[in-house]
Structure 1
Amino acid sequence: MRRYASTKALAALTALVLTFLLTPITQAARAADATTAKSAGRKYALVSQGTGKYVTAQLGLTGNQYGRLRATADRVGSWETFTLHTDTRGASTALRLEANGRYVSAEFADGGTRKGMLRARQDGSIGSWERFTLVPAGQGTYALKYTHEGATRYVSAEVNATGEDQGLLRARATGIGAWERFSLRELPNAATTTPAAAQARDLKVMSWNVCANNGDCPMYATTESEFAATVTAAADAAGRPQVIFLQEFCEKLAKPLELALEARPGSGGWDVRFAPIQHEVTGTGLPARKTCAKNRGAYGVALAVPDENTWYEAVELPSPPGKEQRTALCATVESWAVIACTAHFSTGGTGYDDPGRTYQVRQVAALTDALAARPGFRPIFGGDLNATPAVTPQTGGAPVLNGFYERHTECDQGTDRPTKDDLKLDYLFAPRNASWTSCAIATSTGPSDHHAIWGTVHLPAS
């Protein structure tokens, strides 16, 4: 389980502290890009074996020097924080800088001592200039391999250079030495939080697989503002739920949706968060975020809750090797004493990622364990679980979802009302001692291929 703290108030306080701690010259570019700052998931700092320093992006420069990478930093901030991405199912990897939300490119337009330098400057989709291969290089280090005009090059840190070129990262070496070795240091997660007293309350909850990255769905063709308006309208039709779970979501849609929810009269503040579904980087075991098409950032799941002192957790679910590595996303809301989680399980059955449905069973167990690890928080969860209530693993035994039913009550329990074609795949669950006072399924899928499901649950005091 990976935890990430966030609220707008907390972000403002953090920014204030950073303003005090960091040098004035770097402040303008230290804030994370607004379209990607709502993301949970693994984050890394790169350490050069050649210099012993962190790799930093120089966002204070202009022109064709903007965002160039140098292994010269002594500490980690947003200029030194990266995420891994893939649009080739793990065969290649792209690095994205936390501070500006841009991918790292290898620049061959400049010649001489800067030919092939790396810059965090690509704000579109991942292209050939942004694709690297992570090559294990011993002792937990990796080399970044890049192919240019048919020639293989490895990224070097220019240890012996002087002045502004000292430690500059360039794709120029033909072999792997100390200058070409980097470690990926996973950055620590935020601390946990403590629930308030668990008072009785009613919560309206909704889940919808929005099909935002599938070219067969009309939602795929919508603009960011159209997408936000569509989901907001669906939430209004569901009676304005206080918790919204979303699957098949694209990262850069989070902020527009948040703004659209807040624009409704009397809606108050909202916080929309995202967590990526990933692919293993070939030969490394490292997960990289799967990308959405149309420059919409990473692909995964999202949730929306009212903006308050909320902590976020990306729960990496056990998934079939070589296939999509599934993730759940949880928000703990202190004042409600609630942990709310959205999930999108592996596709099970013959011909799909999890043909025996053995990983779906493990995903149920992993999410159940994650919920149980937060004592005092009452679990509300759901999403596209890609299994019907009765389906069992190919090896037989109990139904796949029994682990949920044993400890929780389901919004539409005892029915097989379909949510995708003629199958019931989408669910909402609450604690065993809770009671669903209503449960509904949208009559139409709208621009998606799944029906939305929503209900009102009464949580007793505990």
Structure 2
Amino acid sequence: MKGLATPAVIAVLAWTSPAAVPVEPTALAVMTWNVCTATNANCRLYQADAQQLAQIIGGYATSQPIRPDVIFLQEFCGGADRTLELGLQQRTGRKWTVRSLALTSNAGAPYACHADKSGRARGAQSIAIAVADDAVTFTSHPLSSPPWYVKRAVLCATIAAKRVRACGTHLSSGTRYDDRQPGAPYRTRQIKEMMAYAAKPGYRSVFGGDLNVAPPDSADGSAAGRRAIVPAYRAYRECDQNGTSRTGRWTHSADGRRKKLDYLFTSQSSKRQCHVAPPTSLSDHRPVYLRVEF
């Protein structure tokens, strides 16, 4: 993976909002969705083939009140990259560029998606970003991860024409096989590192995805997980945040419990509009949409 920063640089950047640099005003719409297609048999998109994935994602890109220019995806299958590009182009009439990043084991081997219903391979379980119209540069950056489980990373898209840096990720979970230690140490580090990677001088930042922590002012999840996300709320505004309340509508449903795990953060001074899609059995997560004017 590219772009490894030193811990000292990460620590400084993660606690500092990007400096104000005069840039032309612009608007951007972003969608994030954990599509739950890779290995979770409880989701209807489990074992979906590339065409089905492209059709469903394209539908969410065109059927909701906010139509995204940038899409963050989690639990995606990298073998569908090109099909998704073409599907989005057909649905929207715009040119799209899709880049995915495979998640790897602690030994460095990619996690394979389960085969589709016809037995065809679908590539590795991935995070992905799709960007419409503009020329884009993608970079990937490793995140501190438990040495016994998945190596997490953040994938960033730098859009020079809009002076925007958009970064999506899927962070460790608090399960017994992942970030299991008291205090959520890995998610705490991952969020600070993600903020550092999203900051670029002269650019506006948008970042988020499935962060696997509940909001600070909710009663959900662990107290350590809720504390882990505090630095992001301190330096930025979250899509579904109202006033000073650091919470939002639920985005994840499993085992009869609903909570917010999916986020989109941007600058505190921006004008924001947020939308959370209706519940769906396609995935255990709901898509979240942000329209921002910088």
Q: 1:417 aligns with which of 249, 259, 264?
A: 249
Offset of residue 401 of structure 1: 0.3
**Counterpart residue type for residue 313 of structure 1:** T
Q: 2:287 aligns with which of 433, 452, 458?
A: 452
Instruction: Indicate if the aligned counterparts of 1:300 and 1:327 stay in contact, CA closer than 8 A.
Output: no
Offset of residue 394 of structure 1: 7.1
Q: 1:337 to 1:197 in 2, by over 3 A?
A: farther
**1:177-218 per-position Cα deviation (integer Å, ceiling 9, x unaligned):** xxxxxxxxxxxxxxxxxxx97211121111110001122211
Q: 1:221 to 1:290 in 2, by over 3 A?
A: closer
For 2:122 and 2:286, the matched residues in 1 are separated by 23
Structure number having the greater strand percentage: 1
Instruction: Indicate if the aligned counterparts of 2:213 and 2:221 stay in contact, CA closer than 8 A.
Output: no
Offset of residue 221 of structure 1: 3.2
SS of equivalent to 1:353: coil
Q: 1:376 to 1:291 in 2, by over 3 A?
A: same
Matched residue, 2:236: 408
Offset of residue 416 of structure 1: 3.4
Stretches of 4+ aligned residues off by more than 6 angstroms:
391-395
Matched residue, 1:367: 194
Instruction: Indicate if the aligned counterparts of 1:292 and 1:298 stay in contact, CA closer than 8 A.
Output: yes
SS of equivalent to 2:252: coil
- 5 Å-filtered alignment, 1:246-265, equals 246-264=73-91
TM-score norm. by structure 2 comes to 0.82
**1:227-251 per-position Cα deviation (integer Å, ceiling 9, x unaligned):** 1000000111223211111101110
Q: Within the alignment, does 1:348 sit opposite 2:183 as a pair?
A: no
SS of equivalent to 1:380: strand
Offset of residue 307 of structure 1: 4.2
**1:36-86 per-position Cα deviation (integer Å, ceiling 9, x unaligned):** xxxxxxxxxxxxxxxxxxxxxxxxxxxxxxxxxxxxxxxxxxxxxxxxxxx
- 5 Å-filtered alignment, 1:301-312, equals 301-312=127-138
Offset of residue 312 of structure 1: 0.6
Matched residue, 1:427: 263
Q: 1:397 to 1:388 in 2, by over 3 A?
A: closer
**Counterpart residue type for residue 305 of structure 1:** V
For 1:240 and 1:446, the matched residues in 2 are separated by 21
Q: Which one has a bigger Cα radius of gyration? A: 1
Q: Within the alignment, does 1:289 sit opposite 2:110 as a pair?
A: yes
Instruction: Indicate if the aligned counterparts of 2:77 and 2:126 stay in contact, CA closer than 8 A.
Output: yes
For 1:451 and 1:398, the matched residues in 2 are separated by 20
SS of equivalent to 1:406: helix
Offset of residue 417 of structure 1: 1.3
For 2:62 and 2:224, the matched residues in 1 are separated by 42
Q: 1:419 to 1:312 in 2, by over 3 A?
A: same
SS of equivalent to 1:389: coil
Matched residue, 2:2: 2
Matched residue, 2:69: 242
Q: Within the alignment, does 1:280 sit opposite 2:115 as a pair?
A: no
For 1:395 and 1:411, the matched residues in 2 are separated by 22
Instruction: Indicate if the aligned counterparts of 1:276 and 1:327 stay in contact, CA closer than 8 A.
Output: no
Offset of residue 435 of structure 1: 2.3
Offset of residue 328 of structure 1: 1.2
User: How many residues end up aligned between the 2 structures?
Assistant: 258
**Counterpart residue type for residue 433 of structure 1:** S
Instruction: Indicate if the aligned counterparts of 2:214 and 2:225 stay in contact, CA closer than 8 A.
Output: no
For 2:100 and 2:46, the matched residues in 1 are separated by 18
Instruction: Indicate if the aligned counterparts of 1:445 and 1:452 stay in contact, CA closer than 8 A.
Output: no
Q: 1:289 to 1:307 in 2, by over 3 A?
A: farther
Instruction: Indicate if the aligned counterparts of 1:203 and 1:242 stay in contact, CA closer than 8 A.
Output: yes
The alignment yields a C-alpha RMSD, in angstroms, of 2.2
Offset of residue 311 of structure 1: 1.0
Offset of residue 280 of structure 1: 2.0
Matched residue, 1:198: 23
**Counterpart residue type for residue 249 of structure 2:** R
Matched residue, 2:9: none
Q: 1:289 to 1:243 in 2, by over 3 A?
A: same
For 2:201 and 2:109, the matched residues in 1 are separated by 31
Q: Which runs of 5+ in 1 are unaligned?
A: 4-195, 282-286
Instruction: Indicate if the aligned counterparts of 1:393 and 1:400 stay in contact, CA closer than 8 A.
Output: no
Offset of residue 352 of structure 1: 4.4
Instruction: Indicate if the aligned counterparts of 1:333 and 1:339 stay in contact, CA closer than 8 A.
Output: yes
Q: 1:446 to 1:233 in 2, by over 3 A?
A: farther
Q: Within the alignment, does 1:325 sit opposite 2:151 as a pair?
A: yes
For 1:240 and 1:435, the matched residues in 2 are separated by 16
For 1:305 and 1:406, the matched residues in 2 are separated by 28
Q: Which runs of 5+ in 2 are unaligned?
A: 4-20, 116-120
TM-score norm. by structure 1 comes to 0.53
**Farther off after superposition, 408-417 or 418-427:** 408-417
Offset of residue 398 of structure 1: 7.3
SS of equivalent to 1:329: strand
For 1:224 and 1:407, the matched residues in 2 are separated by 38
